[in-house]
Amino acid sequence: MHAVAVREGETVAAAGDAGLVTFFRSSAKPLQALLLVRACPDLDDRLVAIACASHRAEPEQLDAVRDLLAAAPATGDDLECGPQEGRPPGRIHHNCSGKHAGMLALCDTQGWEKRGYHLPEHPVQRGCHAAHLEAAEVEPVDTAADGCGVVTFALPLWRMAHAYARLESLAGGDRIAAAMRARPDLVGGPDGVDFLLMRDAPGWLAKGGAEGLLCAAGPDGLGVALKSEDGASRAHAPALAAFLAGLGVSLESLAEMPLPNSRGERVGVIAVS
């Protein structure tokens, strides 16, 4: 596990390789949503939160996606994320459909062509590139196509932590943070560390990403990024609790996570050795 904490541009704690370069993946969704909230400042918490979400296709989450599509206006057929393996048919069930619905709403507000909004040359993706540069205060190292088709940007872990530390100071960033804290149930699932952290730790903001990435921000200007070497997220909760304990942040509810079997029986715990 690699972890880093940053405040005011300075690394205040690190474990492993704080300079490890990796793709931001879904942890970047709050940055990508900056364009949306700046263009549509009257969106309610539900719609802002679902634009930042990696949802579980729960009914309330899908209702929020549909309402954001209606605001575009657009339909599920306009989503360019494609279907997702292991999910019900239909693009709306993709865990990134909220982000894509927000990008469609952004196109409508700005008068941009909606078709092809996922492509690197489209104004939406160029705007997302600029948002990453603005937040991290550095040009992304590399780009690639994310699992849902839009552009994902590579940065060192400490720059990701720096971006999260700065998020609320950016135009629209406070709106995104407030919405995610108000509706963590829309942002992820009930067993996600981002959900658990926002539920249990007042003032914290968090968003997980694919391949074992987790980014978070504390109420005192602290930005944090964690990356597991095996790409799994199962150790995030106890790792985050142990890492932040060294900075005087107590997260007892995350220090040990139950390990159930297929019968739902608790057969062990996941904890820092």
**pLDDT tens column, 50-92:** 999 999 999 999 999 999 999 999 999 999 998 898 999 999 9
Q: Rounded mean pLDDT of the chain?
A: 96
pLDDT band at 25 (very low <50, low <70, confident <90, very high): very high
Which helix (H) or strand (E) segment is 151 a member of?
A: strand 151-156
* Amino acid 82: pLDDT: 86
Residue 82 covered by a domain: yes
Residue 54 covered by a domain: yes
The letter for the amino acid at 104 is: L
Domain that holds residue 53: 21-219
Residue 142 covered by a domain: yes
Residue 5 covered by a domain: no
Residue 209's SS3 state is: strand
Residue 236 covered by a domain: no
In this prediction, residues 33-43 reach a mean pLDDT of: 97
Sorted by sequence, the CB contacts under 8 Å of residue 57 that are 6+ apart come out as 87, 88, 93, 95
* Amino acid 273: pLDDT: 83
pLDDT tops 90 at residue 238? yes
Record the pTM. 0.95
Residue 123 covered by a domain: yes
Q: Are 100 and 76 in contact (CB under 8 A)?
A: no
**26 phi, psi to nearest 5 deg:** -75, -15
Domains in the chain, number? 1
d(CA 225, CA 216): 6
* Amino acid 158: pLDDT: 98
Over residues 164-207, the pLDDT tens digits come to 999 999 999 999 999 999 999 999 988 899 999 999 999 999 99
Residue with tokens 């909220």: 98
Residue 157 covered by a domain: yes
